[in-house]
């Protein structure tokens, strides 16, 4: 358990340095590989996001605010330096992509000076509905589509002299979509090899 925690902390520190422009380091890559070997414990897939959260312990009126960096149907990861202890029960108000959602959560894992993982349940049916809508938005293309619309295909990128075909295809893909699955990436790689 201690080795798993050390690997996770090393990975999170390397990820934070990378996001701040420090680039990936060999130790971050090694830590990432160690964390990747650990079994997935989440009940539903998580999605990267950018938002904020207001946190309050259940028996307190003292509030704190932090940054939400990923989210799923059952919890989120919160970046903050002064984390709550594992097991702390919280009232939370998420604000992500224009959706405000109230949830009741419990801290499951805490990394002081980095952040914490919180498992939660929406406070009402309306909050549950807004959470599901938000997750739909985080996983769908940027263009507005009805639920029955087929997913959009990446547009063909205009040929730009000096750019490899794969880079052009990736640029075209991310003009219309926020995320790429492994299968979509492998498809683009195989497609550009035949060009």
Same domain, residue pair 69 and 14: no
Domain assignment of residue 148, yes or no: no
Q: Based on the fold, state whether residues 183 and 123 are members of the same structural domain.
A: no
Q: Are residues 83 and 106 in the same domain?
A: yes
Q: Are residues 75 and 127 located together in one domain of the fold? A: yes
Range of the domain at 12: 1-39
Q: Is residue 60 part of a domain?
A: yes
**pTM (two decimals):** 0.55
Residues 47 and 28 both lie in one domain: no
Q: Is residue 146 part of a domain?
A: no
| Pair (114, 179) in one structural domain | no
| DSSP-assigned states of every residue in the chain | -HHHHHHHHHHHHHHHHIIIII---HHHHHHHHHHHTSPP--SS--EEEEEEEEEEETT---EEEEEEEEEETTEEEEE-SSPPPTT-EEEEEEEETTEEEEEEEEEEEEETTTEEEEEEEESSHHHHHHHHHHHHHHHS-SS---TTSPPPPPPPPPP-TTS-HHHHHHHHHHHH-S---HHHHHHHHHHHH--
Q: Are residues 24 and 59 in the same domain?
A: no
Residues 53-64: what's their mean pLDDT? Answer: 93
Same domain, 47 and 33: no
One domain for residues 122 and 160: no
Confidence of residue 173 (pLDDT cuts 50, 70, 90): confident
What is the number of domains present in the chain?
Answer: 3
Residue-wise pLDDT for 61-71, tens only, equals 999 999 999 99
């Amino acid at each position: 358990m201690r080795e798993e925690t050390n690997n996770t902390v090393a990975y999170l520190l390397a990820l934070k340095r990378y996001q701040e422009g420090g680039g990936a380091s060999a130790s971050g890559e090694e830590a990432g590989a160690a964390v990747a070997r650990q079994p997935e414990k989440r009940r539903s897939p998580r999605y990267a996001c950018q938002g904020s959260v207001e946190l309050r312990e259940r028996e307190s009126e003292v509030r704190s605010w932090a940054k939400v960096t990923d989210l799923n149907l059952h919890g989120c990861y919160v970046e903050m330096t002064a984390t709550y202890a594992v097991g702390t029960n919280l009232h939370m108000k998420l604000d992500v992509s224009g959706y405000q959602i109230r949830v009741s959560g419990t801290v499951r894992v805490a990394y002081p000076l980095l952040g914490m993982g919180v498992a939660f349940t929406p406070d009402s049916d309306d909050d549950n509905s807004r959470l599901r809508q938000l997750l739909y938005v985080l996983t769908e293309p940027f263009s507005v589509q009805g639920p029955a619309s087929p997913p959009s295909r990446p547009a063909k990128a205009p040929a730009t002299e000096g750019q490899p075909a794969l880079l052009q295809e990736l640029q075209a893909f991310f003009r219309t979509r926020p995320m790429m699955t492994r299968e979509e990436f492998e498809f683009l790689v195989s497609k550009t090899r035949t060009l």
